[in-house]
Amino acid sequence: MDEATRAKRYHRTGRILGVAGFVVDLALLLFLMFSGWSVALRAFAEHLVSRPSLSLLIYLALFGLIFEVPGIPLAYVKGYWIEHRYGLSNLTFTGWIKDELKGMAVGGALAALGMEFIYWTMRRWAAHWWIISAAAFMAFFILLANVAPVLLFPIFFKFKPVEDSNLTERLLELTRRAKTRVRGVFEWKLSEKTKKANAALVGLGNTRRIILSDTLLEKFDADEVEAVLAHELGHHVHHHVFRGMVVQTLMTFLGFYLANACLLHWGAALGFQGLADYANLPLLILVGTGLSVILLPGVNVHSRWLERQADAYAIEAIPNRSAFITSMEKLAELNLAERQPPAWIEFIFHSHPSIKKRIAFAERAR
C-alpha cells in the first residue's frame, strides 16, 4: 500500500471512530435525560448527603462512570490500536493505561470544579448565573493558558532545555525579530509515545516558551526547525492569541446564555426541580455540544485563515524558503497526513489548510 492510500485509510478510520464516539455520547446523554435516570441519580445522591455541593460530587462521579465505561473500548481502538496498526505509536500498553488514567484524573477534577462552580452560581444568582459563570470560565481559561506549560504539560510529558546552543540562538533571534519575549526553548519528549512530530509556542506571560518535539529535532535540520517556529511566531505577530480569546469569549457567553434559556424552557417538562437541579446536567452538556457542532465549520474557516496568515509570515521571515516546503513534506510524512483530504471534509473538520495547499501557497510566494 502506498503512503497516500495508507494516510487516507488512517484518517478515514479516525473520522469514523470520532463520529461513532460522538453518537454514543449523544445517545447516553439523551437516555439519561429522557429515561429519568438522571433524576434518579440525583435523588440517590441527595439521599446519601444533603449538602448540595457534596451530593453534586456524588452525582458527578456516577455520571462520569456511566459516561466513561462504554467509551473505554472506543478509546482503546482510537488511542492505541489504530496508532500501532499504522506504525505511528511508540506507546506501550501500560503507558497508554497510565496516560488514560492521568487524563481522566485531570479532566475529571477540572470538570468537577467547573460543574460545582456553575451550580453554585445557579443556587446563588438564579437570574445572572450565566453571565457570572461565563466570565469566571474565561478568567479560568486565561489562567490555565498561563499555568499549563508548568503545571499540566509535565503531568503527561517530559521537557528539557534544548542543548544545541547554535539552534536556540537562531530561534531566539527569530523571536526577537517577531518582537516577542520567550522564556526558553524546550525539547518535548514525544518519542516515548509517538513517532509523530509537533512544535508549539505555548504559555502566556512569564510561562511563554517554545516547545519542539524530540521527534522533530531528530528529523529536521536547523533551517526546517526555524521554518516551523516562524509559523508559530506568525500567530504571535498577527495577534492570534488575543483574537482567539475574543472569539472564545463570545462563544462562551453565547453558550451560557443558550444553556440558561434551554434549561428554563424545558427544565420543568423534563422533571427537573428548578434551574439549580443538577439532574439537568445532560441537557446542559447537550446545549454546549450542539452549539460547538453548529459553530465547528465557522470556527475552522476562521482558523484556516489564521493559519494561512501565519504561513505567509513564516515564508517572509526565513532566509531559506524551500525549508518551509521541506518541513511541510517531513511533517506530512511523519504524521501520516492526508495531503489533500476531500474538500467537504477539509471544510468541516480541518483547522489547518491541507499540506498540498500550504506547499502550493509557499511555491506561489516564491
Binding-site ranges for Zn ion (CB under 5 A): 307, 310
Which CB atom, from 187 or from 307, has the smaller least distance to Zn ion?
307
Which CB atom, from 35 or from 351, has the smaller least distance to Zn ion?
351
Q: How far is the CB of 307 from Zn ion (least distance, A)?
A: 5
Euclidean distance between CA atoms 281 and 32, whole angstroms: 9
Which CB atom, from 197 or from 310, has the smaller least distance to Zn ion?
310
Which CB atom, from 42 or from 231, has the smaller least distance to Zn ion?
231
Q: Are 40 and 284 in contact (CB under 8 A)?
A: no
Q: How far is the CB of 6 from Zn ion (least distance, A)?
A: 25
Which CB atom, from 46 or from 232, has the smaller least distance to Zn ion?
232
Which CB atom, from 89 or from 354, has the smaller least distance to Zn ion?
354
Q: How far is the CB of 308 from Zn ion (least distance, A)?
A: 9
Q: How far is the CB of 352 from Zn ion (least distance, A)?
A: 7
Which CB atom, from 217 or from 310, has the smaller least distance to Zn ion?
310
User: Which contacts (CB < 8 Å, 24+ apart) does range 88-97 have?
Assistant: 88/10, 88/194, 88/195, 88/196, 88/335, 88/336, 89/193, 89/194, 89/195, 90/191, 90/192, 90/193, 90/194, 90/195, 91/192, 91/193, 91/194, 95/192, 95/193
Nearest residue to 63 via CA among 22, 117, 130, 111 = 111
Nearest residue to 167 via CA among 177, 178, 175 = 175
Q: How far is the CB of 350 from Zn ion (least distance, A)?
A: 12
- Beta-bridged to residue 209, according to DSSP, are 202
Q: How far is the CB of 228 from Zn ion (least distance, A)?
A: 10
Q: How far is the CB of 234 from Zn ion (least distance, A)?
A: 7
**How is 12-66 classified by DSSP, letter by letter?**
HHHHHHHHHHHHHHHHHHHHHHHSSHHHHHHHHHHHH--SHHHHHHHHHHHHHHH
Burial classification of residue 364, based on how many CB atoms lie within 10 Å of its CB (0-12 exposed, 13-18 middle, 19 or more buried) = exposed
